[in-house]
Amino acid sequence: MTVQHWTFLIVGLSFALYLYIAYRSRAGSTSEFYVSGSSVHPIHNGMATAADWMSAASFISMAGIISFMGRDGSVYLMGWTGGYVLLALLLAPYLRKFGKFTVPNFVGDRYYSQFARLVAVLCAIMVSFTYVAGQMRGVGIVFSRFLEVDITAGVFIGTFIVFCYAVLGGMKGITYTQVAQYCVLIFAYMVPAIFIAIMMTGNFIPQIGFGSVLNDGSGVNLLDKLDGLSSDLGFAAYTSGVRPTLDVAAITLALMVGTAGLPHVIVRFYTVPSVKAARSSAFWALLFIALLYTTAPAISAFARTNLLTTVQNASYAEVPEWFNNWEKTGLIKFEDKNGDGLIQYYNDKNTDPAFIAKSESAGWKGNELTIDRDIMVLANPEIAQLPNWVVGLVAAGALAAALSTAAGLLLVISTAFAHDFVKCWAKPDISEKGELTCARFAAGGAVIVAAYFGINPPGFVAQVVAFAFGLAAASFFPAIIMGIFQKRMNREGAVSGMLAGIIFTATYIIWFKFVHPENNTAEHWWFGISPEGIGSLGMLLNIVVAQIVAKFTPPTPDDVQEMVENIRVPRELQPK
């Protein structure tokens, strides 16, 4: 069967499974819609959390960005992994003990303020919409290639599917759907990685093959070969980096604390029955996440090596079928600038005189190939000439990753609106049925807005997601961490800090990405920190503003301080 036939078959079967699970586990109450009735087994919740957290950015874009950026791209790997550890150790058990199943609920009660709750609602919606834009973009990329439609049509198809099982099933339906989606995505990620590791290094463990000698008889290590290929084409050596060290640190920190402040991940720890189960599910989730994250660097190196050895100086008239297929989507573009019919892919921005002389003597007239980095994982099995069923399997895995996270984010948006805004603010006397209906309408409206951002994203998938993490780092993380570990942090300080952090971070991102994108370079950034890493400064601003305002405003009430003490310290250790 062809790639398209296999894709239709595998994707169709997986979607049928998701919809069946959503229907069988559909929510019948607000508790089931929001937190699945707090009855999910820790292992199941660990798998669902892993699927919820490992989005299109993890499956599609992370390996792609490492393929193109080498060492610099590792900030996403370090930041997201470290952030989950931070979340599991510092936040999840305490928030579960607090008993409120949304971040705005925690902020509103901890800071004894409806206005604080409203600010948290707005922050949650802003973060979630930014994040979901990357997921819908990933969906569009997958469908554009394998269904041979444009990205816009692909986004609409994915939107309809998300609408069906997110709006119908709520958290209960999404949780068990995500268990199935994790199984699909991790199988789809590991199978081609194992195949290519065997083909290139003779080692069936990708994590080991990544550092092994190539089995082509050259005796050259894979990374040494990749460094040479990159340098020959004017790119930085794959194992080196060009980003300023401070920016690397800032992005990593923003991704770490942003992960710990993501509302759609935090809410997962309320779906288990106890604090002990929350800790257990955090362990299982980290184990399941590690399978993909430790494999991503190997996928990146395999894909980059195969790409450079396949396309450079190849005849355009004789390119492999995969090249033509991706060219139809517009995600690979070839422009024959010197008219020789050969593909010259190189870094024409390199200003080294020796490289300029080399490129001129070779007759190169400028880089002729434009590659969207988000396609690397999806195109990798085709470039490596793996069986068609593997290509279809990867498509199903990518969709599982994107749709699982999109569903979780849409649920956060609907919950923030229906529960934290309508129930706790606008109309406290609304019935449970009315609240559930409101939540479903909010999810439906959020799907439509998410589709728009998927069609018109502000960057590639991982970059868009990094913006969402930066916003979460600048708004939620300080408010949550100070709310747990600082009894005297009051409402005035927390609200002022959240507003200062998110306004500063959002303004910085909008300024460099939309208002003056031509200035989005290191010499124009504050302290050399890019928009992807500015959430770190936003977080520090949040903390500083909160501490200053709290110092000059009324102290936290005694009953709230006692509540915080009960959250943090086990009862048997509290003074009698």
What DSSP letter does each residue of 419-484 carry, written as one string?
IIIIIIII-TT--HHHHHHHHHHHHHHHHHHHHHHHHS-SS-HHHHHHHHHHHHHHHHHHHHHHHH
> For the segment 499-527, what is each residue's pLDDT rounded down to a tens digit?
999 999 989 988 888 788 888 887 888 88
Amino acid 203: pLDDT: 87
Amino acid 173: pLDDT: 56
> For the segment 418-438, what is each residue's pLDDT rounded down to a tens digit?
777 777 667 777 777 777 778
Is residue 555 classed as helix, strand or coil in its secondary structure? Answer: coil
Closest-CA residue to 447 (of 218, 206, 179, 162): 162
Whole-angstrom Cα distance, residue 215 to residue 249?
36
Is residue 1 classed as helix, strand or coil in its secondary structure? Answer: coil
Low-confidence ranges of the chain (pLDDT < 50): 28-37, 572-576
Whole-angstrom Cα distance, residue 474 to residue 202?
46
**Residue 492 corresponds to which tokens in the numbers above?**
């005035």
Amino acid 552: pLDDT: 93
**Residue labelled with tokens 């469908």:** 143
Whole-angstrom Cα distance, residue 403 to residue 409?
10
Whole-angstrom Cα distance, residue 415 to residue 405?
15
Distance spanning both ends of the chain, measured CA to CA: 72
Rg of the chain, C-alpha, whole Å: 24
Amino acid 539: pLDDT: 94
Whole-angstrom Cα distance, residue 275 to residue 422?
28
